[in-house]
Amino acid sequence: MQENQTDKKSALQVVVHSFFVVPLIIAVFAVMIFLFIRLMTSEPNSARDYLEDVKIGGTTKRWQGAFELSKLLSNPKMVPKDEMFVNEMIATFKYSSSDRDARIQQYLAIAMGATKDERYTATLIDAIDGSDQGVVQACAFALGNIGKIEAIQPLKNLLDYSEPQIRLHAVIALGKIGGPLTIPYLKKMLSDSEPNVRWDASIALAKQKDSSGRSILLDLLDRKYLNSFPNIDEKEKVQVILVAISVSHFIQNQELKAVLENIKENDENLKIREAARIAVNKFII
């Protein structure tokens, strides 16, 4: 009797194993193989795919699509050049102005600027007078990347804006565009109430070999001065000093050179010392 029950139990185990466990294992392997093949053969999303997400997706998918588009288009190889894509981008950007989520238009503006395609200039200029500060900043940033002189006047109008971040983005954009037309506006911002605005104005002028911001550059090379800003951490201080070092040689000023000589020998950061050494070698005075 006991042997009979054992035989029945063994038979049941065989049935379970044959009809449930084995097919389950086979199914799992089949799914894994399918996913592997799909992963290996699937193509990454294109700019058009992300733009389509922005056009017809839900709220979350729309801003995420715009964000991914802004990243993708920073790669020149991924930028569509045809007129149809440009027109669709412009139309989608304009349509998104009425969207409750301003991030969509912000990222689309950044995406347009990333292409460096001058066909987006007029659209961005039209939008720079918008009410959303994030969109205004994004448009200024984009216009700086595109670099058309037509953007100088609209950007100049932002220099009296009450929000410091908008003034800062306008200064950075004017610095990227460069040229004689931007110099008077950048000089004006050397006396701005916001330190970041003054700093970027002096750096932008130095890149154009204008020494108007020399005293500010000297401050940026002084750790004691930077230490007076408790909200700036060590990593940010290093970055500020490196940027100031990188533009100092454009001015060819003896006082700047002497400061760089001192930094080259005595700064606590090896990366800063090496940058100063390279910069000093670029001085011809």
pLDDT number for residue 38? 44
pLDDT in tens, 236-262: 999 999 999 999 999 999 999 999 999
How long is the chain?
285
pLDDT number for residue 27? 56
pLDDT number for residue 29? 57
**pTM of the full predicted structure?**
0.82
Residues 6+ positions from 283 with CB-CB distance below 8 Å:
249, 252, 257, 260
Q: Which of 146, 143, 83 has the alpha carbon at shortest distance from 117?
A: 146
* Spans in the chain with pLDDT lower than 50: 2-3, 7-9, 11-12, 14-16, 21, 34-42
Angle formed by the axes of helices 103-115 and 83-95, nearest 10°: 150
**Structure-token pair, residue 9:** 């139990």
**Structure-token pair, residue 50:** 């992300």
Cα torsion 26, 27, 31, 36 to 10°: value is 0
pLDDT number for residue 284? 87
pLDDT number for residue 26? 58
pLDDT number for residue 42? 43
Q: Which domains does the chain have, with CATH numbers?
A: 46-146 (1.25.10.10), 153-208 (1.25.10.10), 216-285 (no CATH)
